[in-house]
Structure 1
């Protein structure tokens, strides 16, 4: 009897508790309305629900529990909406206002007020959010694009970040808040591990925020990358909504994938929140920063361009080059003397040198030493002393400013698309006629580098070329990566030489008179690329390669190359590449190779195409290429 009474008490307790729980979670909205709102695109984008055909938790891009009210294991779009509404309507919150649902998720609250009657919810002053966003003094948002940097594989294709602009937006303000997205990579991670983990999703990634000067110092001064700022045209309400959503995302963990769900994809994703933004879709299975910049610049907002202003922010190196190449021969000669020996500043005291020329020389020298301070930390003290000496000499001259024309840089969004397909007809003097097809996901070669690229350089990954010749279908080449780094505007002054290098890893034909002979190749070259004239660059390289043992030639060869890049005009250029190979395991074999290729680019119905014609040892090729 006592046991029965005890069981009855427990049953009554659980019944009352369950009834109370249901009452406490009852919402003053119909289930139909909640279900309808939970399937809306904006709600699902706010909670980073990636797959509208599924409702399992694996389809949510963020895997931080702090981003959701629901448990990660039972997460659904409708369930999270219900939990969010319950939290907003709840009267029990901690004493810290910044921990309230309104302050943790201001964008959700802002949008849900338009879908549900939340007038009973008492507004909370979110001090943390207001201090971070500076809504009282900021008025616009900019997308910032940093051009590519060949010193780090993660930065080959460039990078994007956001900047919250203050009311005084006519001047560059380094204290403005910037928002970045990147992989959380451990310190001293080796490049191979980084590339492998980046491809398979081995890193978490998150949005972070900092002052803009942190990025300008890193990009403009340390890595010498130019920045392009695209100021966006958003209404006050949409600006608030986007900034509030960014606040929600800061420090939340995503899974990072190098090729698609990467830093620039997450930036692009932010702008898909707005139905009023007509944003071109990224159709390729990979996402490249320059393509997102092109998409943002093509987008419209309420019938007007989304981008209202484009600004160029040159790096320290670009500033120096812009000044140096505007100087006359005499001024350049004096700079050469002074950089070799600062005591030669006495050359500036000669009477036949105008004050204007002196100011130009000193201004260029000041930028030169600031540039060296950034790139050569081992000799920073020496360069700082030279900089101070130049500055002291400048104070002896009358007040005035050197007059230089601003660099007429062309925005990366005006460049052609990043992916490339080419069809070629081949005439081989030994194998007969054939055809080839090339597919290059990204990015550029030594003839088609454009705005935001390294002119006369190359950056290619996963380029595949197939050929059908002599009744055989075979791989002509398959690159894992191919990089050519060139210093196009180098001055030739100390620590600013013409250094250039090339790397190739993949499958490659060792000879153009064979079929089905694409072998493993790892090739490295180091040399000089000297800009003889504005449109002419001469390259000299030494290097070698590890290859498969084709026709008993051996597995190692050393090589020397002589190259010439020449631009005829903006649309027409050519490349000459002469190579001498010596196979080290076969003393009898030395091979001489040559390749001459010319390219002409054109547009047809706003599509980007090119014609190419090339001649090598045994082959002639005529090609038509399409950029997409």
Structure 2
């Protein structure tokens, strides 16, 4: 027993001779355990005495490895002493780091056939951070999504279609309800996993099926850093992480992965509350790790660009070409010159392919596509317009907000402090954000209000919105998307005698269209409200929202009208005009005038707000 204890104590301070470089006599385990490289490999946050983000015990060799760096390092060294080759094959990134520190010999990975075969297949010479634009029709993609594109070396590097996509996502059961996903995603109800797939599948998913623009930011990583990243990716196979929608999400996990390749670069510590994809991209840019980004327009953007040069008659003919078999032979079509027919046939072909993206292709549709393609190819080559790169998403305003406003309603003064966790509303600067999209999470307003008498002044919760979403997607002769909105939370009826704080859920769906250089919308729906001060506490009212929105990089304005009918409890109407002036990406001023006609009376209010984005 004495000899065994002596051997164990000796191992803590001195690794067995087989594992040492010839020029080394011992290992300072404590110093190695505190290194940034070891912290990053264990996914431990920056700072002292932190617990690993990895929740899967299979990743650790010590029982207290998630919270004890030294214990995990001692257990790792013990595993290498007992079975060096198997341990190196299981933990190639740990092995490479210890080998670079002079602790282990340089040849152990040569015996890892499965790992070497995988590395041969993934012969990567460039890593690219890809941001897919936000997509409001999917709860998991409302804020956008990031993943890493792994570009192969050699001849395969000529096309990004041959690249791999390294992705982190929640492991969601098939057919999961969207609302259940949002609930469980916020509370950490899903495990998250890293996975690799062909990059062209991501293009199909985002650019074609969901019509999302994609931005690719090449990363300045050396060959050695890329090798470390891939070695650690191998270690994380089938390893579970807790997935949280706001912070420990796809984008945050990628930053952790990059810190393994760049252990002295702090990319993660700023994201303590939320890690919005575009903000994590900004963190990588701020660290000086990116090159000039590449833009990939969605198929819808490309199609809208192609359709833009046609007049009304030609656009109707293009629609006919895509939907009727006899349109190619019609007199309306053949009267155009060759180049015009070619251009219209190409637009019709692209539109038909776009329309068939989500539907199962029919034999009639395939025959029509072939006929249109033959018409295009029968008139020689033609140059098609290329989508110009819009403002980069990282150049938009930050996603968190703090605001102060002063206002007056019927000669009563008030001031409000507002905090919003994320993300963007319709009047914020449109630079870098999808047109018509409004998504606010965690919006909180606290108000000081002047009372009827001097003793009545008070501070109270004015509003709390866990979620408020609106998507305005204009319709035209080719596209007929649904516009919709949903919001839920607490709202104070500040002009009512009781100033009740009510709970409400409202939603609606309708349409929007391009009008007067902006977007006009009509969104009928329902409002469910609980008011403890009312005779009937729970009430359901038909509701409609009408408006006109103009968005811009600096100025934005919205005219809106809302109407709710609570039956015996009366009708509520409001008319408002609001304007926002963004004088930088971090600061804006907003003003509004609101008239309300409600069962308890009429009121007119005016507000001026200073907004700070961070």
Q: TM-score range by the shorter chain?
A: 0.7 to 0.9
Q: How does 1:474-513 map to 2 (within 5 A)?
A: 474-488=460-474, 490-493=475-478, 496-510=479-493, 512=495
Does the CA-based 8 Å contact 1:449-1:455 persist in structure 2? no
Does the CA-based 8 Å contact 1:614-1:622 persist in structure 2? yes
Q: Does 1:325 align with 2:308?
A: yes
Q: How does 1:119-518 map to 2 (within 5 A)?
A: 119=105, 122=108, 124-134=110-120, 137-167=123-153, 171-273=158-260, 274-275=262-263, 277=265, 279=267, 282-300=270-288, 306-339=289-322, 341-347=324-330, 350=333, 353-377=336-360, 383-395=365-377, 397-429=378-410, 432-448=412-428, 450-470=430-450, 471-488=457-474, 490-493=475-478, 496-510=479-493, 512=495, 516-518=499-501
* Change beyond 3 A, Cα 1:143–1:243: same
Q: Does 1:609 align with 2:596?
A: no
Moved more, 198-207 or 500-509: 198-207
Question: How many equivalent pairs are there?
Answer: 588
CA shift digits 1:475-534 (9 cap, x unpaired): 22211211111214x4332xx21521111111124564567433111111211110125x
Deviation at 1:21, TM superposition (A): 7.2
Does the CA-based 8 Å contact 1:334-1:347 persist in structure 2? no
Partner of 1:116: 102
Q: Does 1:566 align with 2:550?
A: yes
Does the CA-based 8 Å contact 1:437-1:465 persist in structure 2? yes
CA shift digits 1:583-618 (9 cap, x unpaired): 2344xx333211110111012xxx611111100011
* Change beyond 3 A, Cα 1:423–1:132: same
* Change beyond 3 A, Cα 1:60–1:551: closer
* Alpha-carbon distance in structure 2 between the residues aligned to 1:486 and 1:275: 43
* Change beyond 3 A, Cα 1:583–1:22: closer
Does the CA-based 8 Å contact 2:301-2:387 persist in structure 1? no
Partner of 1:598: 579
Does the CA-based 8 Å contact 2:297-2:387 persist in structure 1? no
Partner of 1:576: 559
* Alpha-carbon distance in structure 1 between the residues aligned to 2:498 and 2:373: 64
Deviation at 1:222, TM superposition (A): 2.2
Which runs of 5 or more residues in structure 2 are unaligned?
A: 451-456, 596-603
* Alpha-carbon distance in structure 1 between the residues aligned to 2:217 and 2:502: 45
Which runs of 5 or more residues in structure 1 are unaligned?
A: 1-13, 94-99, 301-305
Secondary structure of the equivalent of 1:596?
strand
Q: Which of 597, 606, 612 is 1:620 aligned to?
A: 606
* Alpha-carbon distance in structure 2 between the residues aligned to 1:74 and 1:293: 27
* Alpha-carbon distance in structure 2 between the residues aligned to 1:506 and 1:130: 54
Moved more, 24-33 or 111-120: 24-33
* Alpha-carbon distance in structure 2 between the residues aligned to 1:293 and 1:440: 20
Does the CA-based 8 Å contact 1:65-1:72 persist in structure 2? no
* Alpha-carbon distance in structure 1 between the residues aligned to 2:67 and 2:286: 36
Secondary structure of the equivalent of 1:492?
coil
TM-score (norm 2): 0.87
* Change beyond 3 A, Cα 1:475–1:343: farther
Q: Does 1:537 align with 2:519?
A: yes
* Change beyond 3 A, Cα 1:79–1:450: same
* Alpha-carbon distance in structure 2 between the residues aligned to 1:91 and 1:339: 65
* Change beyond 3 A, Cα 1:389–1:77: same
Deviation at 1:468, TM superposition (A): 1.4
TM-score (norm 1): 0.85
Partner of 2:38: 43
Query: CA RMSD, aligned part only?
Result: 3.0
Partner of 2:453: none
CA shift digits 1:287-346 (9 cap, x unpaired): 11110011112222xxxxx11231112222222222222433343132233345342223
Q: Does 1:62 align with 2:54?
A: yes
* Alpha-carbon distance in structure 2 between the residues aligned to 1:92 and 1:46: 19
Moved more, 355-364 or 201-210: 355-364
Secondary structure of the equivalent of 2:326?
helix
* Alpha-carbon distance in structure 2 between the residues aligned to 1:174 and 1:65: 36
* Alpha-carbon distance in structure 2 between the residues aligned to 1:281 and 1:54: 14
Deviation at 1:574, TM superposition (A): 0.2
* Alpha-carbon distance in structure 1 between the residues aligned to 2:82 and 2:74: 12
Moved more, 38-47 or 379-388: 379-388
Moved more, 589-598 or 66-75: 66-75
Does the CA-based 8 Å contact 2:127-2:148 persist in structure 1? yes
Secondary structure of the equivalent of 1:154?
helix
* Alpha-carbon distance in structure 1 between the residues aligned to 2:280 and 2:384: 36
* Change beyond 3 A, Cα 1:121–1:387: closer
* Change beyond 3 A, Cα 1:593–1:110: same
Q: Does 1:521 align with 2:486?
A: no
Does the CA-based 8 Å contact 2:302-2:386 persist in structure 1? no
* Alpha-carbon distance in structure 1 between the residues aligned to 2:571 and 2:129: 53
Secondary structure of the equivalent of 1:418?
coil
